[in-house]
């Protein structure tokens, strides 16, 4: 028989998020459980660079090169 405390990890996670909520790194609003770092509003408001995902773009190249 299992002990009652670990049968529902989703419930434990929800309780943890209620006590220690996550906030958007940009605007500071409380995040929904499906959001990780940015809220949807801030994510959609970010400028798009227009680079293809399979090509290393100049910004990525600058961040990846050692100086």
The average confidence (pLDDT) of the chain is 81
Q: How much is the pLDDT for 67?
A: 60
Greater confidence (2 vs 29) lies with 29
Q: Which residues, at least 6 apart from 35, have a Cβ–Cβ distance to it below 8 Å? A: 22, 24
User: 1 pLDDT band (50/70/90 cuts)?
Assistant: very low
Q: Are the C-beta atoms of 59 and 53 separated by less than 8 Å?
A: no
Q: Which residues, at least 6 apart from 14, have a Cβ–Cβ distance to it below 8 Å? A: 33
Distance, CA of 4 to CA of 2 (rounded, Å): 6
Q: How much is the pLDDT for 7?
A: 58
Residue 6 has pLDDT above 70, yes or no: no
Q: What is the pLDDT of residues 19-44, one digit of tens each?
A: 888 899 999 999 988 898 999 999 99
Domain chopping of the chain, boundaries = 4-64
Distance, CA of 53 to CA of 18 (rounded, Å): 35
């Amino acid at each position: 028989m299992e002990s009652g405390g670990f049968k529902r990890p989703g419930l434990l996670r929800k309780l943890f998020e209620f006590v220690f909520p996550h906030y958007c790194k940009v605007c500071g609003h409380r995040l929904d459980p499906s959001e990780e770092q940015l809220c949807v509003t801030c994510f959609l408001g970010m400028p798009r660079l227009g680079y293809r995902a399979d090509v290393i773009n100049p910004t990525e190249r600058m961040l990846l090169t050692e100086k």
